[in-house]
Chains A and B, each alone.
Chain A
């Protein structure tokens, strides 16, 4: 986490303030991440009937929904061209029908996730210059801090044994460490893939560009 914070603080002034398209894409990705949080909450809520819990969790979903809308709104205001809008497949943290145990695992995951998001928003709010985006980071980070407390309270209600609840949180932290390794690998993998496929394209284009073009223009209609 400290490493990521340092990277944000170093990288943001270099890239963020110079390239509007990078800024827009990053903001929209935050919007998409917040939308995923809202979706994860609503997906888990499908298995909750208690009105009081539903009311609390709906309020949480409303806040994530607002963050998503705000990040999306500011992302559309910074660059001339629309930022790319990735639509990753939804991977539910809570699998429908997995009961109290599943909900406890979800609450632990959400708790750790909220801490991470708070740290990231805090680093961005400190690193970027003044403007609409900074306001959104600042406002959102405060809400995320509230969500840390809320998700822990729900976890404690679902798992009264504090040691077990802490263990669930630790398990999530270990899983997220593996996710960081995957992300690191992804970055290197993307570079490898790009290099291999670029070489292949240049070779294949020289050999097959002409027949491919003939195939396309040969279609009179």
Chain B
């Protein structure tokens, strides 16, 4: 029985978490027999990352607000 504490959120956790989520989606394509969707998923992930970057600019942030 493992009793090791999960630990607090480290610095730079967001980038690692986002990368883990994105690679998780790519892995799920094969597992769920929808490999044909890989190009579409790649486009959506690029859009998502673009949105995330735009959201960092205060003047633009409100315009990507619906996605945040």
Q: A contacts B directly in the complex (CB < 8 Å)?
A: yes
Interfacial residues, chain A to chain B (CB-CB below 8 A): 181-182, 184-186, 188-190, 192-193, 196, 200, 204, 207-208, 211-212, 215
| Chain B residues whose C-beta falls within 8 Å of the C-beta of A184 in the assembled complex | 62
Tell me if A196 and B47 are in contact (CB < 8 A). yes
- Residue of B34, B36, B47 with highest tally of chain A CB at under 10 A: B36
Q: Is the interface of A mostly helix, strand, loop or mixed?
A: helix
Q: Considering the chains assembled together, what is the distance between the CA atoms of A186 and B64 in angstroms?
A: 7
| Chain A residues whose C-beta falls within 8 Å of the C-beta of B43 in the assembled complex | 200
Tell me if B34 and A189 are in contact (CB < 8 A). no
Q: Interface size for chain B: under 10, 10 to 19, 20 to 34, or 35 or more residues? A: 10 to 19
Q: Considering the chains assembled together, what is the distance between the CA atoms of A196 and B51 in angstroms?
A: 12
| Chain B residues whose C-beta falls within 8 Å of the C-beta of A189 in the assembled complex | 62-67
Q: In the complex, which residues 18-63 of chain B have their Cβ closer than 8 Å to any Cβ of chain A?
A: 33-34, 36-37, 39-40, 43-44, 47, 61-63
| Chain B residues whose C-beta falls within 8 Å of the C-beta of A193 in the assembled complex | 66-67
Q: Of all chain A residues, which has the CB nearest B37?
A: A208
Partner of A215, one of B33, B44, B63, B64: B33
Q: Smallest Cβ distance from A21 to chain B, in angstroms?
A: 21
The list of the 4 closest CB pairs from A to B, nearest first, reads A185-B62, A211-B36, A186-B65, A189-B63
